[in-house]
Amino acid sequence: MTYVATRDRVEHYFDRTATKTWERLTSDAPVSGIRATVRAGRDRMRDLILAQLPPDLTGASFLDAGCGTGALAVELAGRGADVVAVDISPELIKIAEKRCPDGLAGRIRFASGDMLDESHGHFDYIVAMDSLIYYEPAMIAQVLGGLRPRLGTSMIFTVPPKTMLLTAMWRTGKLFPHSDRSPTMVPQSARQIGHAMAEASTAGSVREIERVTSGFYISTALEFAP
Ligand SMILES: C[S@@+](CC[C@H](N)C(=O)[O-])C[C@H]1O[C@@H](n2cnc3c(N)ncnc32)[C@H](O)[C@@H]1O
């Protein structure tokens, strides 16, 4: 699989197969036990990412890369940031636009497309919460290398960690979805991404911030310093 093939699968999944499920998961509507643990874990991850940033973001520019329905972009704009919120799924961008509070609309520019598109501009920070979970380490190195020339301070992103459980599930195909067109999560570590960056001659460094575990949600926040 290449970066583009993976991205196309992700687009198909979020823009068609899973749009309604994702809309509900990211809303206040009631969800079942397993999904409730995922929602709680994702709320904790969003708070963890926000805690890495200065409390006052006035004047700081952000790319929310793979913004989904826009919750993190709204939080950042609420703290004063100017945000470009990009997602490969036009359907999710429509939902994000509808959900954006009127008072913050001037601070967030929503766009559908690839996060790597240079036309999005230059940024002090980039956040990519759970947007890169389907990409292999070499593809993540490609993403970091592609974003680096347009990044000032740091990028915070998340990956599924290489825990024994997730790795065993991945090896035995349990993380593979039923439909061939759906993307597969790729458990990985900061070290693996570091190796892939070295192979691709991508400058900069990656460090682990913290892991969040909540039922079926397991995700590690990483920081890329350009
Ligand atoms: C698991 S969702 C997370 C969405 C959002 N960041 C959140 O935490 O609610 C992953 C999102 O990343 C988007 N995505 C994945 N690869 C992308 C790419 N190359 N460019 C733009 N968006 C991408 C998907 O369309 C999807 O909306």
Tell the residue number behind the tokens 């991945």, with chain if given.
Answer: 170
Closest C-alpha among 36, 84, 30 to residue 217? 36
For ligand 1, atom 14, the nearest C-alpha belongs to: 66
Mean pLDDT taken over the chain: 93
Mutate which of 1, 9, 10 to test ligand 1's pocket (most atoms within 8 Å of Cβ)? Answer: 10
**Digit-coded pLDDT (tens) for 26-36:** 999 999 888 89
What is the percentage of the chain residues whose pLDDT exceeds 70?
95
Listed in sequence order, the residues at least 6 apart from 90 whose beta carbon sits closer than 8 Å to its beta carbon are 15, 112
Q: What is the mean pLDDT of residues 144-170?
A: 90
Cα dihedral 106→54→84→195 (10° resolution): 180
The answer, as to whether pTM is greater than 0.85, is: yes
The Cα–Cα gap between 193 and 199 comes to 10
Structure confidence at residue 175 (pLDDT):
59
Structure confidence at residue 33 (pLDDT):
86
Structure confidence at residue 128 (pLDDT):
98
**Digit-coded pLDDT (tens) for 111-136:** 999 999 999 999 999 999 999 999 99
Domains and CATH numbers, the chain: 3-225 (3.40.50.150)
Q: For ligand 1, what atom is nearest to the CA of residue 3?
A: 19
Beta bridge partners of 154: 125
For ligand 1, atom 15, the nearest C-alpha belongs to: 131
Q: For ligand 1, what atom is nearest to the CA of residue 69?
A: 9
Q: For ligand 1, what atom is nearest to the CA of residue 26?
A: 9
The Cα–Cα gap between 115 and 151 comes to 13
Q: Is 170 in the pocket of ligand 1 (CB under 6 A)?
A: no
pLDDT band at residue 181 using 50, 70 and 90 as cut-offs: low
The Cα–Cα gap between 129 and 89 comes to 15
